[in-house]
């Protein structure tokens, strides 16, 4: 999805996946917890200029596909989403923190992030090859 900010048109899309701590023991994203998680991620996107393209919460991990402006660092996107969702879920369901996470955080430290766009790497390589008539030098 293309976006626009001052003097810039961009198409930067991220596939982000992260898991709660102790994922092999506790599958916590179902029912009202899943609804709260999804609602919170949607709510986070607008004020930060992200466009949520797709999201799926599995019982033990979360997939997010979003577009973000070039001013947003991928690590900052992940930090914001993890922090805000953890605070909201623990506020709405205080028993989860005590029962499943022993008073610690909701999310594991690691995550996956990949980029996606409309053009593949091979197309870009061919476009910028020396001698390409499409490029003015």
Residues with catalytic function: 127
Residue among 37, 32, 24 at smallest CA distance from 87: 37
Distance between CA 30 and CA 59 in Å, rounded?
6
Nearest CA to 100 out of 30, 39, 18 is that of 30
CB-based contact 89:106 (threshold 8 Å): yes
Of 109, 89, 95, 80, residue with least CA distance to 18 = 109
**What is the distance between the alpha carbons of residues 113 and 25, in angstroms, rounded to a whole number?**
24
């Amino acid at each position: 999805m293309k976006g626009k900010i001052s003097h810039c048109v961009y198409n930067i899309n991220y596939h982000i996946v992260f898991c709660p701590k102790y994922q092999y023991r506790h599958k916590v994203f179902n029912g009202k917890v899943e609804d709260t998680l999804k609602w919170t991620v949607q709510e986070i996107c607008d004020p930060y200029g992200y466009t949520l393209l797709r999201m799926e919460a599995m019982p033990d991990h979360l997939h997010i596909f979003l577009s973000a402006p070039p001013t947003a660092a991928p690590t900052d996107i992940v930090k914001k989403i993890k922090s805000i969702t953890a605070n909201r879920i623990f506020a709405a369901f205080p028993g989860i923190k005590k029962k499943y996470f022993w008073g610690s955080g909701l999310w594991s430290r690691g995550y996956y992030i990949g980029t996606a766009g409309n053009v593949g790497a091979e197309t870009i390589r061919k476009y910028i090859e020396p001698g390409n008539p499409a490029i003015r030098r």
